[in-house]
Chain A
Amino acid sequence: MTAPLLDITGLKVHLHVGERIVRAVDGVDLQVAHGTCVGVVGESGSGKSTLARAAARLLPNLPATISGTAQFEGRDLLGMNERALRGLRRRHGFSMIFQDPLGYLNPTQRIGAQIGEALSDEDGAKTPRIAALLDEVGLAGARDIVRRYPHELSGGMRQRVMIAIALASAPKLLFADEPTTALDVTVQLQVLQALYRLHRERQMAIVIITHDLAVVAEICDACHVMQSGRVVESGPTASLFANPQHPYTARLLELSRRRAGVRP
């Protein structure tokens, strides 16, 4: 058995808020194998986003104590210097997409330039590669998109542009933090389909952070349920949904099913 792509053990992120310590992430173990799709579900405040940001080294510079380990292909992520980190982000490492693409796209720069910036210079002309990336995320029909600004796109198009930018470095792992929460249902389906296709075709591992169990049911191989900074249950999606062991998982499932009008 090969080592996992991402290996998080005993990760703790304790935030110092005034005199108090908030245990946002409080001892999490999580492994992501090459080419798998893993879901992290939880309600607000469960620590799921903080976990992903800590692993992707994208936590804002807050007073916090971070302990435990996070390794990407055996390399220590938490202790890695900025230069090595940049290398991982630019070439075959990991990328991250967020709920609100507008907050992460440059409002004053055209889409084509923003995707181009994420591409490395070494692999030849950028224009065809930008077009290829747009094709891959399902924006093939919108050639003029490269000349547009973020505010000229719909929410679903922006999220796809974010995914295209994330794909520019040909990552082995994509962190997706609530990638479809802000989108309409029909658009959500398209974006999830695009993510799933990329996962299969590129053998790209995905960690999806979500509050929505249906997103997990639709595309994740495995699932981790978080509550108050801890993973309370982990397992293959099918068995976790069929036979939840932890009462919190069972409750979330029951609420989600009741809400979707599914009678037990």
Chain B
Amino acid sequence: MSPILSLRGVRQVYGGGLWARGAAPAVDGVDLDIHEGETLAVVGESGSGKSTIAKILLGLVAPTEGEIRYRGATLASLNKTRHETYRREVQAVFQDPASSLNPRMTVARALGFIVRHHNLAPRGGEHDCLARHLAAVNLTPPAQYLARYPHQLSGGQQQRVAIARALLPRPSIIIADEPLSSLDISVQAQILDLLRQVRADSNVGYVVISHDLAAMQSIADRTAVMYRGRIVEIGPAIYTRPFHPYTRLLLDARLSLDPARSRIRGAAPPAPTAEAPAAGGCHFRNRCRFATDRCAAEPPALRPLAGDGTRAACHHAEQIAADIPQSEGRHS
């Protein structure tokens, strides 16, 4: 079965004219397949290009190079009807729910537009349809929330409304860009539970963009790790069996919740600093303690490393996987 969304050789360079000199690409040659019903997490630090991937998948940004395919056909080739289907099937949830809801519209009015646009309810059935969807995201009693304006809702409730809105047109996939990071930890847990519940009820898939590895570990089927615009590792088990040194670095940088195991209080070695990107070869080699001459000479390609579909872009992946990670056991 063909993937719902695929990226092929996608490159995105922002800016142009005056600012184009030496502009580093935000996304630099990404291939990615997203399958029906799967939850794919895209993790990385700021500037890694993960949000640009979300924008490209949503069709909000047309990539500088490469193509995006929806069920096998390039976006550009879709006729009006098919493009409308793509728009309906691929929905979005953003980081800051307050700014993604119109402050001057009640929930009922904002969501009513979508019901009418996609003909989701029979004449007169709009209210019932909305009430059902709000109940599905645990906003009960729905009637009470439908009448409210965004500022009358808490951050968590706003994010629930944003999720209900995304679910209304019965999407196959929801692209969520940092859906948790503006929320308190107790609310984050509720939203994660809600995402799981919705997935179980409707077989919707997610692409979740996040810098938060811990939260993604609990929800993702597969995780892609991005570094400077490239996917450096992708697979189902990157949290417990990292192949790429950057994945290792991210896992090792997590703070401990056990005061007795504090690494900062103990004589921790200084964390590696972010060096300027290396030209040619592997982009990560300046931060990498495994780097050799080969890494400077030859850019590593994503290559299969385990039977479960894990791929990593590192010449020394086998050696890194064999080396016992420092993070192992710290969080268990």
Contacts and interface: CB of A to CB of B under 8 A. Distances in A.
B253 A259 contact: no
B257 A186 contact: no
Given A218-B262, A218-B263, A262-B331, A184 B255 contact: no
A185 interface: yes
B275 to A, nearest CB: 9
Contacts of B45: 184-187
A219 B217 contact: no
A155 B45 CA distance: 12
A186 B274 contact: yes
Interface stretch (B58-66, B87-95, B124-132, B181-189): B181-189
Interface residues of B, number: 37
Interface stretch (B28-36, B134-142, B264-272, B316-324): B264-272
Contacts, number: 110
B256 interface: yes
Interface in A226-255: 237-238, 241, 251-253, 255
A256 B189 CA distance: 9
A43 B190 CA distance: 15
Interface of B: 45-46, 155, 184-186, 188-189, 211, 213-215, 217-218, 239, 249-250, 253-260, 262-265, 268, 270-274, 331-332
B271 A186 contact: yes
B242 to A, nearest CB: 14
A243 B256 CA distance: 17
B264 A255 contact: no
A214 B186 CA distance: 15
Contact of B255 (A215, A237, A253): A215
Contacts of B331: 260-262
A192 interface: yes
26 contacts: A43-B184, A44-B184, A156-B274, A185-B211, A185-B253, A186-B272, A186-B274, A188-B255, A190-B270, A211-B185, A212-B255, A218-B262, A238-B259, A241-B257, A251-B186, A253-B257, A255-B185, A258-B189, A259-B188, A259-B214, A260-B257, A260-B331, A261-B214, A261-B239, A261-B331, A262-B257
Given A155-B46, A193-B271, A238-B259, A186 B184 contact: no
A86 interface: no
Contact of B264 (A156, A193, A211, A258): A193
A193 B186 contact: no
Interface majority SS on A: helix, strand, loop or mixed? helix
A213 B257 contact: yes
Interface in A109-152: 138, 141
Given A186-B274, A190-B273, A238-B260, A219 B265 contact: yes
B172 to A, nearest CB: 28
Contacts of A43: 184-186
What's the interface size class on A, roughly? 35 or more
Given A156-B274, A219-B265, A256 B257 contact: yes
A263 B332 contact: yes
Contacts of A219: 262, 264-265
Given A189-B271, A196-B264, A255-B189, A241 B259 contact: yes
A65 interface: no
B262 to A, nearest CB: 5
Contact of B189 (A196, A214, A237, A259): A259
B255 A218 contact: yes
B258 A217 contact: yes
Contacts of A211: 184-185
Interface string A172-192: 000000000000111111101
Contacts of A44: 155, 184
B259 A237 contact: yes
Interface string A58-95: 00000000000000000000000000000000000000
A31 interface: no
B264 A192 contact: yes
Contact of B253 (A188, A237, A260, A262): A188
A261 B259 contact: no
B255 A189 contact: yes
A154 interface: yes
A211 B183 CA distance: 11
A202 interface: no
A258 B188 CA distance: 11
Name the residue among B213, B249, B265 with the largest chain A CB count within 10 angstroms. B265
Contacts of A262: 257, 331-332
A217 B272 CA distance: 22
A226 B177 CA distance: 30
A257 interface: yes
Given A44-B184, A185-B250, A238-B259, A260 B214 contact: yes
The 4 A-B residue pairs whose C-beta atoms are closest, nearest first, are A214-B255, A184-B45, A43-B184, A185-B253
A156 B271 CA distance: 13
B154 to A, nearest CB: 9
Nearest to B187: A43
Contacts of A253: 257
Nearest to A215: B255
